[in-house]
Amino acid sequence: MSVHETIERGRTFAARWLRGSDARGPEVASRVGIALGSAILICFVTGLLSHWIQHPPTWFWWPVHPVWLYRLTQGLHVISGVAAIPLLLVKLWAVYPKLFQRPVIGSPLRMLERGSIAVLVGAIFFELSTGLLNIAQFYPWKFFFPPVHYAVAFVAIGALAVHLAVKLPVIRDALSRPIDSETAGVDTESSADAVARRHVSRRTVLTAAWVSAGAASLAVAGQTVPFLRWAAVLAPRSGEGPQGVPVNRSAQAAGVVELARASDYRLSVLVGDRQRSFSRDELLAMPQTHARLPIACVEGWSASADWTGVRLRDLLAAVGPYPGGDVRFRSLETSGIYANSVLPHRHAIDADTLVALSLNGAALDVDHGYPCRLIAPSRPGVLQTKWLSTIEARP
């Protein structure tokens, strides 16, 4: 082979490489896009639910039963978010040369299209990366995660809606063609071999997308689905912890060890204008109720456990007539955003809502909230206040 030939071959190779794989294009992009869009939609809706439960608008209604409902929605939130990461990468790969097409600005429609893509990719990238770091409990940023994650979600969904509307004809067209059809190639070799190679690679890319999304889901699903626990390599919390339940914030970290173990500990309960204090022994002397309820952390891990304690409604009744409305819980923890919580009336009167004294058959470990903690059905972990000091039911 002459030098000239060698250079010529090298140039052809480089040109092909720069143009990218023939598998790129709307066939792959639209199919992966549907999966990605579905994952994002599930993530958005379940995220909204979680936000509303924690900051309920007046019209919002969240059921008390089934007790695992929040566990399900928040598990889906984290799994769909993690599954979206490989899908987003494949999607970007499939359209990547188009991102650098000229002209950069162009017609108003093109501006809208490209602008929405820039916002969309930025917002989705932000949501997925901050969410992933959050479930890993790693906060390398200065802002408070939940409100920012919440606000950017609307940006992402808005940009997604614009993107879908603009791209609908392209998506329709790409989906109406079988994945094997020869369409995307512009100036590629037209031999049967080349066509066959392209078909294989499109299918390979799609298979890789599904397999990696499945593997990513599996890697986190184990922190909430017990029989998948073995696969939870990405799950930071999946079953270890005192009494077989993971701990989010230990008593030590919350600085409550001494207060929690103090012999003069009293739980103060205010109902209407009456007030009564209870030692742990006094609580133990009241009728005890048993409930099997999950702790379902907003970070996606969850674990079911056997709780025993006094029904909240019984405890309130022992002080005075419950006037209805929200019940407020305060922890021995003096600082920290999870030192307080508010429980809606609907949950407060439920037979499964307990001031728990024991967990899985033994006295509550101090890391799980000893001397007593709130445990209510279908609620985010953040609102299951540990180390209770005060319960308040006032109109």
Contact residues for ligand MTE (CB under 6 A)?
Answer: 245-249, 254, 295, 297, 331, 333, 336, 338-339, 368-369, 381-382, 384-387
Residue 254 touching Mo ion (CB under 5 A): no
The region of 87-95, 161-169, 199-207, 243-251 touching Mo ion under the rule CB under 5 A is 243-251
Residue 30 touching Mo ion (CB under 5 A): no
CB of 87 to ligand MTE, least distance (A): 28
Give the E-state strand segments of the chain in sequence order: 267-271, 274-278, 289-296, 302-311, 327-331, 340-343, 354-359, 362-363, 373-375, 388-393
Q: Which residue is nearest to ligand MTE (CB)?
A: 381
CB of 135 to ligand MTE, least distance (A): 12
CB of 41 to ligand MTE, least distance (A): 26
CB of 202 to Mo ion, least distance (A): 42
Quick one: what does residue 47 bind among Mo ion, ligand MTE, none, with the CB cut-off 5 to 8 Å set by partner type?
A: none
Helices and strands counted in the chain (H then E): 11, 10
Taking the least distance from each CB to Mo ion, the nearer of 156 and 382 is 382
In angstroms, rounded to a whole number, what is the distance separating the alpha carbons of residues 339 and 329? 8
How is 304-316 classified by DSSP, letter by letter? EEEEEEEEHHHHH
Asked if residues 354 and 307 have their Cβ atoms less than 8 Å apart, the reply is yes
CB of 386 to Mo ion, least distance (A): 11
Residue from the set 381, 383, 387, 388 that interacts with Mo ion by CB under 5 A: 381
Hey, which residues between 89 and 108 contact Mo ion (CB under 5 A)? none
Taking the least distance from each CB to ligand MTE, the nearer of 309 and 381 is 381
Q: Interior CA angle at 89 toward 43 and 133, to 5°?
A: 55
How is 197-262 classified by DSSP, letter by letter? HHHHHHHHHHHHHHHHHHHHHHHHHTTTSGGGGGG-TT-S-SS-SGGGS--SS-HHHHT-HHHHH-
Residue 300 touching Mo ion (CB under 5 A): no
Q: How far is CA 291 from the centre of its chain?
A: 26
- The amino acid present at 284, given as its one-letter code, is L
Taking the least distance from each CB to Mo ion, the nearer of 221 and 271 is 221
Residue 297 touching Mo ion (CB under 5 A): yes
CB of 376 to ligand MTE, least distance (A): 12
Asked if residues 37 and 156 have their Cβ atoms less than 8 Å apart, the reply is no
Taking the least distance from each CB to Mo ion, the nearer of 135 and 171 is 135
Site size toward Mo ion (CB under 5 A) is 4
Residue from the set 21, 80, 248, 302 that interacts with Mo ion by CB under 5 A: 248
Taking the least distance from each CB to Mo ion, the nearer of 71 and 202 is 71
Helix axes 69-95, 26-54, angle to 10 degrees: 150
**319: enclosing H helix or E strand:** helix 312-319
Asked if residues 164 and 34 have their Cβ atoms less than 8 Å apart, the reply is no
CB of 116 to Mo ion, least distance (A): 34
- Residues found near Mo ion in the complex (CB under 5 A): 248, 297, 381-382
